[in-house]
Structure 1
């Protein structure tokens, strides 16, 4: 199981009240294992196994099925995903709490390599085609930029709006 890596800063590490969140499961950069997923590597896999058939696990553990992927697509950054934690499951509720607190934010892909090439000069393996099997929430992804992204959190949004109103009131008093 491998990912790609460079760090993406997150604005808010939260999930919606229903457990929905988005993020990048993979990006097109060198990961800690010296692998690079290249653009288009997921295309055939996503055509035959849509998001709903990709498993959402905790730490690549098949005994910890914690949710379902709603959408998965490649874009200019990497493999963007949208998923929903099934909050009636204990491990999913725990993941939800950890994500909301900002303690859990990594995503990691589980796949079979179908086509790759080794660049001996760069000492990097380029993954040209992969069979995506699962995407896990994990504390330590191989790809440091594979992470849960900023997602609407009603509580957070209310705090931001209140802060903006307070700042506007102070500006008007000045």
Structure 2
């Protein structure tokens, strides 16, 4: 099956196609997201079974193989899918019943990351977007939706204009966070490790 690439794709931008580079899908909008003073944040980069504005649906288990091969540190954290703008690192990436759960940290020594921290804190930016190569997909003949069954995840970006509105940095005051009440317990241990 052919694989297409959509760079920086949103509802208002033209589509660029390629067969060798990863696909990028975005998601996010709404209230001010949760990020702490040290740059730690969490959210969902993709949701299973939800059609994005490009009519793609990520299926449960689509990331299983790539996450078995590549650790969270092997998936790049970028700003707007731009490889010239790495802004931090992913500390934890995992599939759960809902989608692709992420825990990340902005590198606040980088000027772009400090700027992004301010934008996230103000609620100006909260979208998350995945960059991937589709390894297995099929078209649902009844809906026309492309079902993404196996993905090679290359990067997850923080973005301005999301394609999947529900995939975003967890919002402040929602009382849920990823683990049901804010930042996961792993944040404290990651902070301690980062000090060494």
Query: What TM bracket, shorter-length normalisation?
Result: 0.7 to 0.9
Shift of 1:76: 1.4
Q: What's 1:72 paired with?
A: 93
**Larger Rg over CA atoms:** 1
Separation in structure 1 between the aligned mates of residue 37 and residue 29 of structure 2, nearest angstrom = 24
* Residues 1:128 and 2:149 are matched in the alignment: yes
Shift of 1:17: 1.0
1:28-69 Cα distance to aligned partner (Å, 9 max, x none): 200011000000000000010111110000000000000000
Q: Whose helix proportion is higher, 1 or 2?
A: 1
Equivalent of 2:46, from 18, 23, 26?
Answer: 26
Q: What's 1:170 paired with?
A: none
Separation in structure 2 between the aligned mates of residue 88 and residue 44 of structure 1, nearest angstrom = 33
TM-score by length of 1: 0.81
Equivalent of 2:115, from 94, 104, 112?
Answer: 94
Question: C-alpha root-mean-square deviation of aligned residues, in Å?
Answer: 1.8
4+ residue runs of structure 1 moved beyond 6 angstroms? none
TM-score by length of 2: 0.72
Structure 2 gaps, min length 5: 1-22, 174-196
Shift of 1:4: 7.7
Query: Counterparts of 1:110-129 in structure 2 under 5 Å?
Result: 110-129=131-150
Residue 47 of structure 1 aligns to a residue whose secondary structure is: helix
- Size of the alignment, in residue pairs? 150
Equivalent of 1:17, from 16, 20, 37?
Answer: 37
Q: What's 2:166 paired with?
A: 145
Shift of 1:121: 1.4
Separation in structure 1 between the aligned mates of residue 29 and residue 115 of structure 2, nearest angstrom = 24
Shift of 1:146: 1.1
Residue 30 of structure 1 aligns to a residue whose secondary structure is: coil
Query: Counterparts of 1:38-49 in structure 2 under 5 Å?
Result: 38-49=59-70
Separation in structure 1 between the aligned mates of residue 96 and residue 37 of structure 2, nearest angstrom = 27
Separation in structure 2 between the aligned mates of residue 93 and residue 26 of structure 1, nearest angstrom = 25
Q: What's 1:82 paired with?
A: 103
